[in-house]
Chain A
Amino acid sequence: MSRITDSTREGFTNGLIDLAQQRDDIVFVSTDSLMVVKGQPFLERWPERVVELGISEQNGVGVCAGLASSGLTPYICTYAGFLTMRACEQMRTFVAYPKLKVRFIGANGGLFGGNREGVSHQFIEDIGILRTIPGFTILCPADGGQVRAAMKASVDIEGPVYIRIGSGREEQVFPPETPFPLGKIRVLREYGDDVALVAHGFVLNRVLKAAEELKAMGVMAKVVEAATVKPLDGEGLAQVLEATGCAVTVEDHTVVGGLGSAVAELIADRVPAHLVRLGLQDTYGESGFPEELLDTYGMSVSDIVDGALRVIGKKKKKKD
């Protein structure tokens, strides 16, 4: 079987194939989303494990509740907002509350994911919405291989799991076969303790570039991937923040409710530190090419460098 590992959408289908080869309980619930995730290879091999419901997301999530309560493990994949907004109540009351094992795969995460489709198909609130719902595990893997690894790592979690994917235009960040660090942060660069750059998802390569630029300027950063947004690795992040005293969060999401908020909560609750939150500043995007959207909406490499210098400035001012 041909395997394409270059995007998060294919990462999902490949991950599903991996799981279905090993277990009988895996079901793909499609709300006319089979083409979106290039699910044909799965359909051809396991037609009886594909539930196609047509364009009906609330019904799709309700059906998942029924499937999961009968002993199957359904994976429902469609656009992130059609799940987390249109079917939000079904996700909360009929899946999360009774702790059912349903896996939600939200496509077109962020501006990068929605890009030229415009605001109706750019989902910048999904993580914030789900963070408020008790019992959700929320994962934001950086590339196709990581989506696949995240599915494998999370398959046995009791209760619901949300995995954010994109449009199919993501760059590779990690070498293939890299495990997904479920529930833990991953320190990707450890140049020093001047600042922590905390990020996840499709902006990670930009953050790594920013760390190099900062290093060339003599500013030594730690780059931390927080791909599990909930439950957040508070212990790991607290250690990083204690060392650096300041952080920049970078997320392709509104800064309200997502990773930046999660880190701000940790800072408020546990370890004082200075923070700059990069991402959409409580605004909508617009149609555009993915990279230029990130550049335009405050997530360029130079925005990250500036953010780091700014937050280091705040830390120094406080010390003075």
Chain B
Amino acid sequence: MSHDTAYLEECARQIRRDVVEMVYRSKDGHPSPSFSSADIIASLYFEVMNLDPANPSWEDRDRFVLSKGHACPALYAALARRGYFPPEELTTLRTLNSHLQGHPYQPKTKGLDATTGSLGNGVSIGLGMALAGRIMKKDYQVYVITGDGELGEGLIWEAAMAAGHKKLGNLTVFIDNNGYQSGGCVQDVSGPYPIADKWEAFNWHTQTIDGHDMSQILDALERARAVTDRPSAIIAQTVKGKGLSFMVGDNTWHKRVYTDEEYAQAMKELGGKA
């Protein structure tokens, strides 16, 4: 399948620029986890999901749950650029009276579908949304992004078991498999491998893709959509900090603030104005 991906790649670059602005200006946040999810979020919000930014609570809309809630700067950027609220508000992130909480809080931010932040909970919430769609006979889709370190949470597997058992074809979970968690390499800290086999064992349709290749993301989502008798897990091989040379391979960027020099360098690399 071929896609015109140039537009989506620019959307993802815009999200990354916004993340840098937000973290630099508000002096807090999680840059590299946001970067590893940025391409998936761009594909969902600017191509795949059926949304109406003028009517955020439209009941037939597709839903999105950011289970790795600390990557919310990327999500907030997508929502702002999609028209849910003015992009100028992005830099109020994590400050008093802002609608942009440190982790997603659904009632405050237009366009959010779920409150998240504490890891391991997003698949259950997405499962509930998918079940609601089935009960109310609506054909919306539910998309979730979890981290790979997050797979250490037992609740992920409670939800995986239930969704597989219920054959929920309207639920798709991305595992943002960037190989790092807060404390270091996922392999060293927790060891959830093999990942795809586990979801497969819980009766999910699984695919493994390059989570930064827009064509692969879109193809995977099309295949997931075509599978209607099982939930879909897309293991997205990602790079934490992808898009900025100095963040890749340096896990201190899990949560770190840009200096003036780093900010200037970031904007140069991402094609923005410092």
A binding-site residues for B, Cβ under 8 Å: 27, 48-49, 51, 53-54, 56, 58-59, 61-72, 74, 89-90, 93-94, 97-99
Contact = CB atoms under 8 A, between A and B. Distances in A.
Interface of B: 59, 63, 105-107, 113-118, 121, 123-133, 135-136, 154-155, 158-159, 161-162, 165
B140 to A, nearest CB: 9
A54 B158 CA distance: 9
Given A65-B115, A66-B126, 6 more contacts: A65-B114, A67-B131, A69-B106, A71-B59, A93-B121, A94-B115
Interface of A is mostly: helix
A62 B130 CA distance: 12
A14 B59 CA distance: 30
A234 B238 CA distance: 55
Nearest to B165: A54
A62 B121 contact: yes
B121 A51 contact: no
The 10 A-B residue pairs with the shortest CB-CB distance in the complex, in nearest-first order: A66-B128, A62-B124, A70-B132, A59-B158, A63-B128, A56-B158, A66-B129, A98-B115, A66-B125, A67-B128
A256 B124 CA distance: 32
Contacts of A56: 158, 161-162
Nearest to A70: B132
Contacts of A90: 121, 124
Contacts of A67: 128-129, 131-132, 135
A66 B132 contact: yes
B159 A97 contact: no
A53 B162 contact: yes
Nearest to B155: A58
Nearest to B108: A98
A280 to B, nearest CB: 31
A66 B162 contact: no
Given A49-B135, A72-B132, A93 B124 contact: no
B136 A71 contact: yes
Contacts of A63: 124-125, 127-128, 131, 159, 162
A98 B106 contact: yes
Contacts of A74: 128
A94 B126 CA distance: 12
A69 B159 CA distance: 17
B124 A66 contact: yes
Contacts of B123: 62
Interface of B is mostly: helix
Contacts of B159: 59, 62-63
A229 B250 CA distance: 51
A45 to B, nearest CB: 15
A48 B59 CA distance: 20
A228 B51 CA distance: 41
A72 B134 CA distance: 12
A11 to B, nearest CB: 25
Contacts of A69: 106, 113-114, 125, 128-129
Nearest to B154: A58
Contacts of A62: 121, 123-125, 127-128, 155, 159
Contacts of A54: 161-162, 165
Nearest to B127: A63
A53 B133 CA distance: 16
Contacts of B161: 54, 56
Contacts of B135: 27, 48-49, 51, 67, 72
A63 B135 CA distance: 13
Contacts of B162: 53-54, 56, 59, 63
25 contacts: A51-B131, A54-B161, A54-B162, A54-B165, A56-B158, A58-B154, A58-B155, A59-B124, A59-B127, A62-B124, A62-B127, A63-B124, A63-B127, A63-B162, A65-B114, A65-B115, A65-B124, A66-B125, A66-B130, A67-B129, A69-B113, A70-B63, A70-B133, A71-B136, A98-B105
Residue among B105, B124, B128, B158 with most chain A CB within 10 A:
B128
Residue among A27, A59, A69 with most chain B CB within 10 A:
A59
B105 A65 contact: no
Contacts of B117: 93
Nearest to B112: A98
Nearest to A29: B128
A56 to B, nearest CB: 4
A94 B121 contact: yes
Residue among A48, A63, A72 with most chain B CB within 10 A:
A63
Contacts of A27: 135
Nearest to B160: A59
A306 to B, nearest CB: 46
B111 to A, nearest CB: 13
A273 to B, nearest CB: 39
Nearest to B117: A93
B115 A97 contact: yes
A49 B134 CA distance: 10
Contacts of B165: 54
Contacts of B105: 97-98
A90 B122 CA distance: 11
Contacts of B127: 59, 62-63, 66
B132 to A, nearest CB: 3
A87 to B, nearest CB: 9
Nearest to B133: A70
Nearest to A65: B125
Residue among B114, B123, B155 with most chain A CB within 10 A:
B155
